[in-house]
Amino acid sequence: MTLLSLGGDFGAADSDEVGKWFREVDTASLLAYYGVPLLLTADNGFFALTSADQVVAAVQPQVDGMRAAHCARSEVLSSEVTVLNSKSALVRETLSRRRSDGQENSRLAATYLVTVGAVGSRISVLAVHNR
């Protein structure tokens, strides 16, 4: 599952959709993918983001960095979904971020907890980790 397949479909979105998301996402639309609150963990720390402003402030630099690195799309190298119950699923993915010429910029492994609430499906926990 990638950010664009959160509409309740627990399958993988295609990389063209993800690339379009990288190019076109704006600050307001980030909240269509990430929940509030959002728990975020990576090598640089653990963060409990409890407001929309905090979520945008944490995620927007990542999107901006992908744009600056000329990321045109993400290729899903592996994806595993574990449905926990009718309102949540764990998604573990390894992604290859690629430029428009096909060269790999970077790889990312992440686990998401996707939850379904009043406003729809959102990433409620994002854990970035080693492959």
User: Residue 11: what pLDDT?
Assistant: 39
b (16+ CB within 10 A) / e for 84-95: eeeebbbbbbbb
**Do residues 41 and 66 touch, judged by C-beta distance below 8 A?**
no
User: Residue 3: what pLDDT?
Assistant: 39
Measured at the CA of 52, the angle between CA 50 and CA 55, to 5 degrees, comes to 75
Per the model's pLDDT, the better-predicted residue between 17 and 80 turns out to be 80
**CA distances for 89 relative to 33, 35, 85, angstroms:** 15, 14, 7
Nearest alpha carbon to residue 67 among 104, 110, 21, 36: 21
User: Would you give the distance in Å from CA 68 to the centre of its chain?
Assistant: 18
Which tens digit of pLDDT belongs to each residue from 88-99?
999 999 988 888
For residue 130, pLDDT over 70 is answered with yes
Which tens digit of pLDDT belongs to each residue from 21-68?
444 556 567 788 899 999 999 998 999 999 999 998 888 887 777 778
Per the model's pLDDT, the better-predicted residue between 55 and 15 turns out to be 55
Taking the C-alpha atoms of 126, 128, 129 and 131 in order, what is their torsion angle to the nearest 10 degrees? Answer: 100
Domains of the chain: 3-129 (3.10.450.50)
Mean pLDDT, rounded, for 102-109: 89
For residue 19, pLDDT over 70 is answered with no
User: Predicted confidence band at 85 (pLDDT cuts at 50, 70, 90)?
Assistant: very high
User: Residue 2: what pLDDT?
Assistant: 40
User: Predicted confidence band at 70 (pLDDT cuts at 50, 70, 90)?
Assistant: confident
b (16+ CB within 10 A) / e for 17-55: ebbebbeebeeeebbebbbbebbbeeeeeeeebeebebb
Residue 75 β-bridge partners: 96
Cα(100)–Cα(83) distance, integer angstroms: 33
